[in-house]
Amino acid sequence: MATAKDAHPAMDRMYRWTRHVYDASRKYYLLGRDALIGELNVRPGETVCEAGCGTARNLILMAQRYPEGRFFGFDASAEMLKTASGSVEKAGLKDKVPLLVALAQDFSAAKFGLDAKFDRIVFSYALSIMDDWQAAVDHALTELKPGGTLHVVDFGDQKGLPGWFKWLLGAWLKQFHVRFRPEVKAYFESLAAAGKGTIAYRDVSRGYAYILNFKLAG
């Protein structure tokens, strides 16, 4: 694992203690993650990187579901990766799921020792916590192979849900520096319109969340 010099101090402070209960609590409201994993259909030998992998919960499920794929993860929080490393080892995947401390704006396949860029990059409830999410997306696209796919699952616009629910959820999420990002879809649509790739988008649970796949032009 890389040194913590690239870790975001604020993220370490946030997750130093909450990392111990993260998976137990988030399973109730981070909807759509398992659906995204099930739809990946990772082919043998493909490389998949999760940006902001947190506890490695998703990576472990991916590696178990697609054992012939190659999986990698990074997070800005060295504290969170302590939990991730323990979970990966417990799952018997220590040598199969490398983890790095890195930021979404400067990670690379080369930092994992790969000669080629990634086939897929996954953002699972990560863009909504990033101040400069657009820079993260732009950088991720440079780390994809031509024809590679960027996968996103995150909080949606909540349009199909009562207004009071959206307000309460938003107020609660602000405690964790999470924001609804309806502009993410529009940004990917602009990339598609510019001929940089194709977009597939669908709502999850009446707009509570969404799943977005952006296939880079080959």
- What is the pTM assigned to this prediction? 0.86
Distance CA 132, CA 52 (A): 14
Domain that holds residue 190: 4-216
User: Residue 42 has what DSSP assignment?
Assistant: P
Q: Show the DSSP H helices in 45-182 as ranges.
A: 57-65, 78-90, 133-142, 163-174
If one compares 29 and 90, the residue with the highest pLDDT of the two is 90
pLDDT in tens, 133-163: 999 999 999 999 999 999 999 999 888 889 8
Predicted pLDDT of residue 80: 85
State the total domains in the chain.
1
- Cβ neighbours for 163, distance < 8 A, ≥ 6 positions apart: none
Q: What is the CATH number of the domain that holds 140?
A: 3.40.50.150
State the number of CA atoms in the 13 A half-sphere of 39 facing the CB. 17
In this prediction, residue 23 carries a pLDDT of 46
Torsion sign, CA atoms 188, 49, 203, 215: positive
Q: What is the mean pLDDT of residues 100-112?
A: 94
How far apart (Å, rounded) are the C-alpha atoms in residues 121 and 214? 10
pLDDT (mean) for 71-99: 92
pLDDT-wise least confident of 42-51, 115-124, 169-178: 169-178
